Structure 1
Amino acid sequence: MLELDVAVRNVLRQRRRALFALLTIVGGVVALMLASGFIEWIFLQMRESTIQSQLGHVQVVRSGYFEGGAADPYANLLPADEANGELQSLSTAPGVQVVAPRLAFTGLISFGEATLSFSGEGVDPGKEIRLSKGIQIISGEPMSPSDPTGLVIGEGLAANLGVKVGDRVVLLVTTKSRGVNGVDCHVRGIFSTYSKSFDDSSLRVPLVTARKLVKVAGATNWVVVLDRTDATSLFMEQYGAQLKSKGFDAVPWYDLADFYNKTVVLFSRQVGVVKLLIGMIIILSISNTLSMAVIERMNEIGTVMALGKRRKAVLRMFIIEGVILGLLGGALGVVVGYLLAHLISAIGIPMPPPPGMAKGYIGEIMITPLLVLDALLLAVGTTLIASIVPAWRASNVIIVDALRHQR
């Protein structure tokens, strides 16, 4: 306790130097919180957009579908009966908002003299209202159960094809029996998502029309939407093995979101580089501050050691000073960073479209408890490291030389 009291007094009496050190730590903590908070917000928005526009939280398919069955999806169909016991059981499971069947297919879409390839999905219009919140209808209306030939088409695909709401198009596909089938539809709406590649190639039609077009009665997958994204792992623990025993695979969204996963890895590495640079700046600044303090207090160090103070006690005293600076700077940095994050989020950060996305967005900064802890650990850890060398020098001075210093 005596060493702590002495360390606190030493920090307080060297106000100018302590203030400079605190400003360095606070600046580093604030920079880390704002940068990491912005990346955390991007992760959240990208994750939820991926879930709510394409993947859902969990997809239930025939065993082996994603490993090889996707090449021949019609040979790996799920039961056709919408009142199927397994589907009903999942629909009533705790935490499940909706379970919707989908039928994936590919083909050609023609309008006038233009013909393009597309990737399509047959969906239940009533259930997709709750499932596809990440899909924005920018023109026209969403699909309706009362309009079986009304489809919605991605913004990019619509532009490339030259269609608008109300235009009639022809869909041509290869059926399960390897024949060719077509259907005449009209564009009911044009949609947009976060993913430009998805908007450039995708369309959706009511499930009943997709089944007639492909001439099958089942679904390629059941899409499960939960009330919370962080409940996905719990759902997998409770139902994954059960579904596996019945010939189904339950695949969570994070195993399917390849673009999201790669983006997280890339941005996390960038944040790691920022953290390393901030840490180096703090270490150099605090180390220089404490080294100057050792030089200026050399007579004092020699005196206390001549009076019987052990070298380990001197070492601890300077390390404690560094830790105190880290705690104070970290706490102040967290408060300042938190207030700045809320102010910046209230104003908004206009951002251009990043690679792979269709539109720009207004960014925010999201501060999480883990981020706050990470910032505090950075402040305390770097100051602790920075204090080791100056503390070792102070504890290893020759007493006689220290007493003669500057005399």
Structure 2
Amino acid sequence: MKKSILLILSILSFFISCSNSVTEKVIDNSQLLIPSNTENIKKIVSKEDKIILYITGSSGYIEFSTGDKISFSNLYDKTLRTEIVNNKELDFLYIPLKPFLVITYDDCPESDYSVYTNVHKLYSPVVPAELGLNIGSHALSIDKLKEMVSNGFEIVNHGYSHNRLETVALQKAVKKGEQNIHGWFVHTFLNKAEILIGNDEYKIVSHSSDSEGQYFIVDKPFSKDYEVGTNICLQRKFLENELFGQVENAEKELGTKILNFTYPYTVSDERTRKLINTKYKSSRAYNGLQFNNSKNLTNPGFNFFPFENRYQLNSASFDTDYSEKEIEQLLKVGGGYNAMIILFTHTWDKRFSEKKIKFIIDTANKIGIEISTRSKIWEYYELF
């Protein structure tokens, strides 16, 4: 018996009686009387004529403070049922939780297509994955991208030109009249990036390095002194282009919608996330694998239904030096929790190997984890 389910209740009369005129709201758990044999109610959302409850438990009932009681039992597969509760007809839609694995390749170099042909196409059906596309510059041709999309791959936006979308702090004070900025972050702001230092506008024209490390050069002398800790970020219009630039044209060329985002360098800030929320269904960040000295998983970076972290989805890089044993442990633990696991890589990285990705696919299949993409997972759970 599957112990984790999504219960969607279509009940117009209850919504009218216990929700306000807002389109969507979260109902506080205090409005429910939860019996002991119902393990957990994670979230309850009123949406128009539906009340959506995310619950864990194989049988029992949920009683509202109004006196309405909803029973459930023996929930195995996704089915549509009708019952009478307090003389009200309710439609029940049951969607069991299950584990998913999302494999994602960033930057769309030509080597992504090689992995697609050498590994993914060897399976029937073709194993899907995500492609993080830099819309302004990518090596893969439109024809190859379209072929991969036709075989289940999903295109996600990875930033127009792969600039850093996070605000950083100046590490070394600079003086009026200078033009160089040093810091660990300078390589993540590219040439032609339009930035703010404090509230002042500059444009990056080149990069170099010296005995103090890497630095970028801006288009004009600094108008004043800037102290350590001064904020550096992309100008608003430039940031918007990184998030939304040429997306509609790319969708037309590729014949597919671009519904999800992946942060370059896996980082963002609140300003960026608010903008992302206006266009995309989710965005991938980073929360990598962490193992203790005994090689036990201590920080798996999983994502759990109903994905309240969907604009900072956890992921882990598998082109770093994790062993097959560690990756197998991650998949087993995540599978046991019915989690969504996101593993990303860069096929241009010298640490990447086709052998490792084949091991990941075979292990996920053996454990019973469905390999999918974000959009397909949202469809399965009827979210967003």
Q: For this structure pair, what is the TM-score category when the shorter chain's length is used for normalisation?
A: under 0.3
Larger fraction in helix: 1
TM-score, normalization by structure 2 = 0.22
- Bigger relative CO (Cα 8 Å, ≥ 6 apart): 1
TM-score, normalization by structure 1 = 0.21
Larger fraction in strand: 2
